[in-house]
Amino acid sequence: MKEIATQLGLSPRTLETYKARAMDKLGLQSRADLIRYAVLCGWLGDGRAR
């Protein structure tokens, strides 16, 4: 999380807050749920949307 926050120019705490808010709005319960959602949306992998 720290490395991602640095790349985005954010503090790790801010990034955690954004993640928590997004998960709440999407109704996701765990980090695994969030990763599954990202894969289904095409946000991970080769960069091409599905």
Q: What is the pTM of this model?
A: 0.72
Distant-in-sequence, close-in-space partners of 38: CB < 8 Å, separation ≥ 6: 44
Do 35 and 44 contact (CB within 8 A), yes or no? yes
Q: Mind listing the pLDDT tens digit for each residue in 5-19?
A: 999 999 999 999 999
pLDDT digits (tens, 9 = 90+) for 1-50: 899 999 999 999 999 999 999 999 999 999 999 999 999 998 887 655 54
CB 28 within 8 A of CB 20: no
Instruction: Name the token pair of 41.
Output: 């949306």
Give the separation between CA 47 and CA 27, rounded to whole angstroms. 24
